[in-house]
Amino acid sequence: MSQNPEETVRTKSPEKTSLPRYAGLLVFAWTAVVLIFLAGTLYQENQATLEIARTEARSRVDQIILCQQWNNNHKGVYVQVDDKTPPNPYLPRKPERDLRTPSGRTLTLVNPAYMTRQLYELAHQQNQVQGRIISLKPLRPENKPDFWETRAIKKLEEGAAEYSSVEQMPDQDYLRLIRPLVVEKACLECHASQGYKVGEIGGGISVTEALEPLRAVNREHMSMVWISHGFFWLLGLVCIAFGSTHLGKSLAQQRRAEIDLQEAKQTLGAYIKASPLAIMTLDPQGCVRLWNPAAESIFGWRSSEVVGQPPPFLAENPSPEFQDLYSRGLKGEPVRGGGECRDRNSMVMDFSFSMFPFYGPQDELTGIMAVLEDVTERRQMEEELFKANEKLKVWVYEFSRRNRDITLLNEMGDLLQACNTLEEAYAGVGQYMPLMFPEGSGALFVHQEKREVLEAVVHWGDSPPGATEFAPDECWALRKGQEHLVQDPASGLLCAHLAGTAAARYLCVPIITHSENLGLLLLLKRSQESSLEEPLSETKKRLASTAAKQIALSLANLKLRNFLMLQATHDPLTGLFNRRYMEDTLEREIRRVQRKQAPLGIIMVDLDHFKRFNDSFGHEAGDTLLQAVGIFLQSNIRQEDIACRYGGEEFILILPEASQEITRVRAERLRQGVENLQVEYHGQSIGPVTVSLGVAIFPDHGKDGEALIRAADTALYRSKQGGRNRVMIAGEVV
């Protein structure tokens, strides 16, 4: 069976098997180091305990020696005789060994040896410290040395200052220490018979110190030593385990990376062979190292023909841009670009290329990879796509312009439908025309019927529209009854109303509705100006024609509306407002002055003896008189005053915010003016003419219009009764 490449690598790799062994050796070495340090620490602690014991033993010996010296200095001391301190039997011939005090107490002499023995006995009872004076030739059998003391005295005789050792006894371990006892002169009193001489070592002072109490004190510290060393040992094991694990992972990653690298090389080789792009590698001198099958297929040269040679597909005279990119790529700089190349049959093709450098361990350039792609068909498709895209842009632009124009046209139509006056309509046209025809200038001409001319009521743009007023026969569009377009001023049929202006392309569109000529729409474009779209194209012609139709319809509707409004609110004979309009207006003005807390004056005017005029001169003369009086009244009132024909020969004037005095003065002036009025009918004077006037004031003479009119009518009646040709105020007595 075949093995997995990864498993094969892992089996042959020595790191996998050696790592656990190395980790085990490291654990063993670490354990040995910790044990060595632990043993050293324990040994030092034991030596410290022994040193403490020696120090205490020396201290006790020093105390005994000090007491002996004190006793020797005082030639012994006397103490009271009792059971524990009988007279010293080894001083029988000592004069004054025993004394009696005057009080009858018996005292005995205690020499240094006797005192030392009693001190050791007392210390043994209290501190469990054993000690005694020994001698190789003792007087007392109890002072005979044991085996250890005999050996120790020999060491002392050899010149040792002291001798000590740890001895195991049945109950526990003890430290035994001995110091030499030098024979002094006072010692010869008891030991002269034994042949001792002053300065000799006569024996020793032996001390036995129990070690268990000291070891008990040091046992807690020793526990901490064990614990600390155990902690460091475990910490070391953890670090070894962590390091081994991390190292194992690193080695595994390294092995995985090696396997991946090998697989990547194999995969890359497969990709290079299977790639549809031409791939080649070059050495630093620019010679081919690798030439994949796609390169053979595209260019026609086999790999064996090009390896070791410069690339054969390069053009003989490459462009400077391509030569610069190729040179930079050979120097190790990553580059991308395009150019022209040739195949084995010398056919020229477009291609794009990329060059990437390879570097060695010392960052030296070792080679270059070049990837080439034949883009000849793509370039052709891109060019076709670009052309199609440009057409699409034009279509989209045209569509957006048409959509925008339709939107503006609808908005202008809505605005014109909402206008109440022709002036508002003209302003609306002036607002929207520059938006729909921003490339040039233009003007709207309206037919003035009374003068039989076309007058410019609005214009836009920087260029003047030629004549601002002209006769209808000066425009070819009005003559033909259809649009007149001039694309070339040098050869086109120019309209007379544009004579004298700079050469321009223009379009005249007549504004006609129901065979009635209402005006002209002029669009003007200077020849030196240019734009993305021809401003006087068929699209613009259709837009201008539609706009003209909409303007014509709106102007016709406004004229019809104004005519109907005029018929509904004005008297056809005098041109003044009629009675219905007067009643509505009076109520409205009363509410307005009431809000302002201002007065309002009413003057009712009646022609004196009007029936006589009709009977004498005829009804036509009467109508002429009524027209003349209406014109006089309209021309002699304020702009805010309202003149109305009330009925027959009666007129009413509404004077907003006029007080009684002002209204009376105004009425008197009107009376005088009518009296001086000269009216002729067929060349014959039909005067003189007089009027009677009645005045009423809001709110003094009435709280509403009906009451005011009655008050003014009553005042007018009194004026006629009083002789006519006079002014009477409501409530005034004749």
Specify the CATH number for the domain of residue 472.
3.30.450.40
Can you give the CATH number for the domain in which 616 is found?
3.30.70.270
Task: Identify whether residues 516 and 592 lie together within a single domain.
Answer: no
pLDDT of 185: 67
* 198 and 52 within one domain: yes
Flag whether 2 is in a domain.
Answer: no
Mean pLDDT value across residues 17-26: 78
Which neighbouring-strand residues pair with 131?
Answer: 207
Which of 511, 535, 565 terminates a domain? The answer is: 565
**Cis upstream peptide for 688 (omega within 30°):** yes
pLDDT of residue 695: 94
Phi then psi for residue 718, to 5 deg, are -70, -30
Total number of residues shown for the chain:
734
Residue-range definition of the domain harbouring residue 311: 276-374
Confidence check: pLDDT of 569 > 90 = no
Tokens 């000090």 correspond to what residue?
A: 66
In a domain, residue 615? The reply is yes
* Six token digits for residue 430: 């002036």
Q: Is a pLDDT exceeding 80 seen at residue 518?
A: yes
SS3 306: helix
Residues 555, 619: one domain?
no
Evaluate if residue 733 carries a pLDDT over 70. Answer: no
Does residue 545 share a domain with residue 577? no
Q: Which CATH number covers residue 318?
A: 3.30.450.20
What percent of the chain stands above pLDDT 70?
A: 90
Query: Domain for residue 121, yes or no?
Result: yes
Contact 162, 114 (CB under 8 A): no
Give yes or no: residues 550 and 583 share one domain.
no
Whether the per-residue pLDDT at 440 is higher than 90: the answer is no
Tally of structural domains, the chain: 4
Instruction: Work out the mean pLDDT of the chain and round it to a whole number.
Output: 80
The answer as to whether 448 is a domain residue is yes
Whether residue 702 sits in one domain with residue 641: yes
* Final residue in a domain of this structure, among 510, 544, 565: 565
Are 46 and 191 found together in one domain? yes
- pLDDT, one tens digit per residue, over 686-714 is 778 889 999 999 999 989 989 999 999 99
Q: Are residues 166 and 311 in the same domain?
A: no
User: Would residue 271 count as lying in a domain?
Assistant: no
Residue 201 lies in a domain: yes
Residue 406 is assigned to a structural domain of this protein: yes
Summarize pLDDT for 485-497 with one digit per residue, the tens. Answer: 888 777 778 888 8
User: DSSP character for 451?
Assistant: T
Band of the pLDDT at 129, cuts 50, 70, 90?
Answer: low
Average pLDDT rounded to a whole number, residues 235-248:
85
Residues 540 and 599 in one domain: no
* 8 Å CB contact between 713 and 646: no
Query: With contact defined as beta carbons under 8 Å apart, do 358 and 329 qualify?
Result: no
Residues 636 and 673 in one domain: yes
Residue where a domain stops, chosen among 374, 407, 425: 374
- Residue 130 in this model has a pLDDT that exceeds 80: no
Average pLDDT over residues 51-63: 80
- Are both 543 and 611 inside the same structural domain? no
Q: Is the domain of 560 the same as that of 575?
A: no
pLDDT score at 21? 82
Instruction: With respect to residue 293, please indicate whether it lies within any of the assigned structural domains.
Output: yes
